[in-house]
Structure 1
Amino acid sequence: MPPRPTATARQQRLGAELRKLRERADLSTRAAGQKLGVDPARISNIESGRFGVSADRVRAFALGYDCDDEPYVEALAAMTAGRSRNWWDDYRDLLPPVLLDLSEMEEHATALRTVQFTHLPGLLQTPDYGRLIFQQNVPALSPPLIEHRLSHRIKRQGVLYADGPKPYTGIIHEAALRMQFGGPEVMRKQLAHIAEMSEREHVTVLVLPFAAGIFPGAGQTVVIAEGPHPRLDTVQLDTEHGSEFLHAEAQLVKYRTIMGRMENLSLGPGPSRDFIHTLIANL
């Protein structure tokens, strides 16, 4: 396959997983090339995401690396499927590539879990609330760029409405629910939308109250996108300099643990919904 000018995060992830398999087999690229009959330079380019790879070659690599986890190997093979045009490609010249990678991650996830401390979850934001968030960007965005980002965010929410929607869990700290971005009217509509979404069978909203006290990971926004195999889960972090995608085994274990602890500290789905309705009544 010809080299790609750029690789998406999903393509880079496939290459990274193949590199992990090779390293678990304790093979250098040179030794792997000799064993598989593949140019070591091509192996390096595949692992970087620069070169594409077929499903059959992924299976051959896994066999050569003595990986017998068939569901995992088949999940990797599925990641090689020819890339068709997707809705987020319409934004390719308008938004940073990392936002397109975020769309692709959500599209291919089997379930999504997030925790938010100051902003409400993007997949649950109303247009008015989302616009206010983008207006605070540093450096400032022009009005057209704000609308492009807002349009992209609203289209991302389609993963919660599509046929066979993905299970979604949003842990929201009380601070995010109480911050009056845009004033009482904007927040009243925003909180009502979250409460309404929480009624959907596949959407779980959990409130992490002030009363829960200290908890791990308080300083950052975290999303865990579950893959078709646990090894293919992805952790996405929002930072001031953009999104980061993590998938090292130790990182996955750490953030699964953090997310689990925060779920345990949160109110249950019913009490969380009641809590939100109380906030609405007090606005």
Structure 2
Amino acid sequence: MGLRANPTYRQRRFGAEVRAIREGAGLSAGEAAAVMRMQASHISNVEGGRTALSPERLRSLVEASGRKGTTYVDALVELGQASGKGWWTEYRDRLRPSLLDLAELEDGARDIVCYEPLFVPGLLQTMDYAIAGYRGGYTRASRPEQDLEVEFRMRRQAVLTGENAPRLHAVIHEAALHVSFGDPATRRDQLVRLLKVAELPNITLQVLPFDGAVAFGSSFTVLRPPVRKLSTVIVAHIERSLYLGDVDSLARYDDWFARLCEVALPPVSGDSRHSPHTVKDSYGLIQRLLYPLL
């Protein structure tokens, strides 16, 4: 089998975890190769995500590192053996690989947490809002390319209502709720959708108000599979988004999100509709913004 020219994020992440196990055990590439009965050059390709590693060899490396069989090891074996195929596969060679990586991560997530300072999260956008964002943005993509990305974004949203749907917790800055792309109807329908999806039992929505704490500047998403050690942070960037999976980054962004939740308004909930709004909350703020648009 030839080496992969363009490994997916999942394949690169598997390789990074193998390298972390090897380095954590204090083993050189040659020593690890001897443990797994393979050539040292093979180790480099595995750690770079360019080729696979059998479950037997992975477990022999884990045993040599002094670890015992754990849910993490089982999950890592599963990560390495996954086919990577799903509904997103049909978009291969038509969309940026990073979008396919995102869909695969969402498909395997148990929890998704995200913070957005300027836009409604993609998983919660209406089609008109998404279209307006692409049309009015700075991308040089052609109209057919934009339409394909909007279609892909809308299909991604099915993860929230499908079987084994993940829990989504979103903190959105109030600034994002004022974006209308010049069309009040687009803004109105988007605010209505936020209130509607927030009724789903697996979705928690909070708003960080203008008169609250200083906003965090960058949007980010943390995708957590059943084994949280294999979580991924995606930090949006105009050039290329960062995909982070190291222990320190995961802890740092988990802490930042927890702090955002503390300073944001209480979440939208089913009880919000029937409770007297003597205390400012996310539901009341969205309703206040929506009222002039009705």
The two structures have a TM-score, normalised by structure 1, of 0.94
Q: 2:263 aligns with which of 251, 259, 265?
A: 265
The 1-side partners of 2:224 and 2:208 are apart by 22
Partner of 1:237: 235
Given the superposition, is the C-alpha separation of residues 84 and 230 from structure 1 closer, same or farther in structure 2, using an over 3 Å criterion? closer
In the aligned structure 1, how far is the partner of 2:179 from the partner of 2:150? 20
Q: In the alignment, does 2:15 pair up with 1:11?
A: no
| Aligned equivalents of 1:158, 1:64: Cα separation in 2 | 42
- Partner SS state of residue 269, structure 1: coil
Q: CA deviation at 1:82?
A: 4.2
| Partner amino acid, structure 1, of 2:283 | R
The whole-number CA distance in structure 1 between the counterparts of 2:121 and 2:237 is 14
User: What is the RMSD computed on CA atoms of the aligned residues?
Assistant: 1.5
1:60-114 CA-to-partner distances (Å, cap 9, x unmatched) read 2211222236011011011123416321122112211111111111111111000
- Once the two structures are aligned, what percentage of the paired residues are identical? 33
Aligned to 1:190: 190
Task: Give the match for residue 48 of structure 1.
Answer: 48
1:153-181 CA-partner distances (Å, limit 9, x unpaired): 00111110102211001100011012222
CA drift of 1:190 comes to 0.5
Other-structure match for 1:169: 169
CA distance in 2, matches of 1:234, 1:131: 27
Which one of the candidate residues 263, 276, 283 is aligned to 2:286?
276
Structure 1 residue ranges without an equivalent (≥5) = none
Matching residue of 1:158 = 158
Q: Is the 1:231–1:249 contact (alpha carbons within 8 Å) kept by the matching residues of 2?
A: yes
The residue aligned with 2:144 is: 144
Contact 2:197–2:203 (Cα < 8 Å) also in 1: yes
Deviation of the 1:135 alpha carbon: 1.8
Q: In structure 1, what is the Cα distance between the partners aligned to 2:232 and 2:37?
A: 31
1:189-268 residue pairs with structure 2 within 5 A? 189-215=189-215, 218-268=216-266
Using the alignment, how far apart are the partners of 1:165 and 1:43 within structure 2? 36
Worse-superposed segment, 253-262 or 127-136? 127-136
Alpha-carbon separation, structure 1, partners of 2:34 and 2:240: 40
- The residue aligned with 1:99 is 99
Deviation digits for residues 17-64 of structure 1, max 9, x if unmatched? 111111111111112112332211111111111001222322222112
**Structure 1 position 279, deviation (Å):** 1.1
Equivalent pair of 1:198/1:273 in contact (CA under 8 Å): no
Aligned to 1:37: 37
Deviates further, 139-148 or 167-176: 139-148
Could you tell me which amino acid in structure 2 is paired with residue 5 of structure 1?
A
Is residue 35–residue 60 contact of structure 2 (8 Å, CA) maintained in 1?
Answer: no
1:127-138 paired onto structure 2 within 5 Å = 127-138=127-138
Structure 2: gaps spanning 5 or more residues: 269-280
Structure 2 CA distance for partners of 1:134 and 1:95, relative to 1, 3 Å: same
Secondary structure of residue in 1 paired with 2:199:
coil
The farther-off stretch of 131-140 and 273-282 is 131-140
Contact 2:110 2:165 in 1 (8 A): no
> SS in structure 1 opposite 2:181?
coil
Which AA in structure 1 matches 2:291?
A: A
SS in 1 for 2:253: helix
Q: Is the 8 A contact 1:135 1:141 kept in 2?
A: no
Structure 2 CA distance for aligned equivalents of residues 126 and 153 of structure 1: 10
Partner secondary structure for residue 200 of structure 2: coil
Q: Distance in 1 between matches of 2:227 and 2:251?
A: 14
Q: SS of the counterpart of 1:186?
A: helix
Distance in 2, matches of 1:55 and 1:171, equals 39
Measure, in 1, the Cα distance between the counterparts of 2:17 and 2:137: 34
State the SS of the aligned residue for 1:212: coil
TM-score normalized by the length of structure 2: 0.91
1:21, 1:148 → 2: CA distance? 40
